[in-house]
Amino acid sequence: MPDTLLVTADDLLRLPLFDGESRDTVAWIASLMVVRSYKTGDCITRPGDPVTEFGVVLEGEIHFAMDEDQASVVMFALEGNPIGVLPFSRIKTALGRAWAARDTRVAGMDAVHLRELVYRAPLLAQRLVAHMTDRTRETTKVAENSNRLLALGKLAAGLAHELNNPAAAAVRSSARLRQVIMERRVHTIALRAESIPLAALDKIGELSQSIADCSSSPGTMDELERADMEADLSDWLESHGLPGDLAASLVDAGITAEQIRPIAAIVSRNAAEHGLRTLVADHEILCLSREVEEASRRISDLVQSIKSYSYMDQSPVAEVDLQAGIDVTLRMFQHQIKHGVQVVREFSPQVPKVRANGSALNQIWTNLIDNALDSMETLPPGEPRVLRVKTCVEPAAVLVEIADSGPGIPPDVQSRIFDPFFTTKPMGEGTGLGLDIVHRIIRSHKGSIRVESKPGRTVFQVRLPK
């Protein structure tokens, strides 16, 4: 436990905070204070601890963070700085963790005396109110940045996952493509050493064209039918002295025994084998190039989605397509949505564009969708997880509804969810500023937001003027 000592008026008067106050007033304040000493690293408050005292740092340094991580420092309190409850402050519990950054002494008094302090020490009261305003502004600014970083971290993790799949596919396909090209080169060189009639070359050319047509318009085949075709073709190849292991690849390429028979009849077995392996390689090259193209297209689409989400290269305020913004925001959460969440879109075709900051609006959809997905994460396995997004036109506004099938918001806290720093999430998982930011962005657009919640259905309604 920290040492408890008394403080004198002289101890306080040497601090600029008490400049201009009479000795009698400062002596009265000192008589109500006790001094507590902390060693470097000592914890002073933890999140949720009751805050009941007004204090002044006599010497030393105190650091404050919004969570248990000492690396995420939000504020400093140095010698002469006030801490704890200040006049007109509504703080009841600690929002984060405070600790002594070095050996520190703090003089504290019960906050019940603050009302009298305001009348007895008006200059001090003014300084404390100004400090409280600065403290609130700084805390809010840092917490907002933290909230944005949390949201950005979630989106970045999801996008990394979404980008990894097509990127890995492109790497895998390109590596195999290089290998197949080398294999084809070997068979092409061997084929040139063979004497091949002109008629056989014509047939091979026709087969090559059929492979290209098949690859550009791939079809589907019943598995049982495919197995029968592979078995029949393998038997036919082996009966003509050709490798049966070519059957599966030839079926993939759409080549049948009837197409091979005229070629096998007029060329040597070696020439036929090299020719068939060249055709199989051609088919695989076409398929692999299509896979690389598809993977690259998916990566390009994701990059375009990111640009659209952030409104990169666009004016801050412009005519914004709300439904396109919601769609691209949903794309940012695809990594979460695809794991058991049903998304229902009910978009009205009559919704007009609105003049707004598109990036700011996407921050609204991001926070609301993120909260909805987090809420549904708490549902028991097997419970339906439905995210419903609806847009419609009202006489004076455009309405956007984002609803989820989660457990709902308790009635006793619904009136507080837009308050700064209020959160229903466990400590360390939320800053309590997500909905506050949403509220302020909507107000800056002269819109409104309301919530209706009960178990199984929570709906946020956002109205923006047309």
213 has a pLDDT exceeding 60: no
Residues 6+ positions from 78 with CB-CB distance below 8 Å = 57, 61
What is the C-alpha separation between 73 and 46, in angstroms, rounded?
A: 14
* Residue 79 reports pLDDT greater than 70: yes
CATH number of the domain bearing residue 80: 2.60.120.10
Q: By C-alpha distance, which of 244, 242, 251, 254 is closest to 215?
A: 254
How long a stretch of residues is the chain?
466
* DSSP letter assigned to residue 87: T
What single letter denotes the amino acid at residue 343?
V
Please give the mean pLDDT across all residues of the chain: 83
Helix or strand holding residue 98 (H, E): strand 97-110
pLDDT in tens, 107-125: 999 999 999 999 999 999 9
Classify residue 128: in a domain, yes or no: no
Helix, strand, coil percent content, the chain, rounded in steps of 5: 55, 20, 25
Q: Is 45 a domain residue?
A: yes
114 and 214 in a single domain? The answer is no
Strands 317-320, 457-465: pairing is: unpaired
CATH number where 398 lies: 3.30.565.10
Round the CA-based radius of gyration of the chain to a whole number and report it: 36
Tell me how far apart the alpha carbons of residues 279 and 282 are, in angstroms, rounded to a whole number. 5
User: Are both 326 and 224 inside the same structural domain?
Assistant: no
pLDDT digits (tens, 9 = 90+) for 194-206: 777 888 788 877 8
- Domain span holding position 227: 157-302
Sheet holding 342-346, edge to edge: 342-346, 386-393, 397-404, 457-465, 448-454
Tell me the per-residue pLDDT of 9-42, one tens digit each, with 9 for 90 and over.
999 999 999 998 999 999 999 999 999 999 999 9
CA–CA dist 21, 44 (Å, integer) = 29
Q: Is residue 147 part of a domain?
A: no
Report the SS3 class of residue 57: strand
Residues 287 and 336 in one domain: no
- Name the pairing type of β-strands 97-110 and 34-38: antiparallel
Domain count, the chain: 3
Q: Are residues 256 and 376 in the same domain?
A: no
| pLDDT (average), residues 133-144 | 71
Domain end among 66, 92, 120: 120
- Answer yes or no: is pLDDT of 419 > 80: no
* Residues 406 and 293 grouped into a single domain: no
Q: What is the pLDDT of residue 420?
A: 65
Is residue 418 pLDDT above 80, yes or no? no
pLDDT per position as a tens digit, 221-253: 678 888 888 898 888 888 888 888 888 888 888
- H or E stretch at 102: strand 97-110
Give residue 431's pLDDT band: very low, low, confident or very high (50, 70, 90).
very low
376 located within any domain:
yes
The reply to whether 62 falls in a domain is yes
- Note whether residue 234 is domain-resident: yes
Nearest Cα residue to 373 out of 360, 359, 386: 386
Q: Which ranges of 253-353 would DSSP assign to H, the alpha helix?
A: 257-264, 269-310, 322-332, 334-337
236/416: higher pLDDT: 236
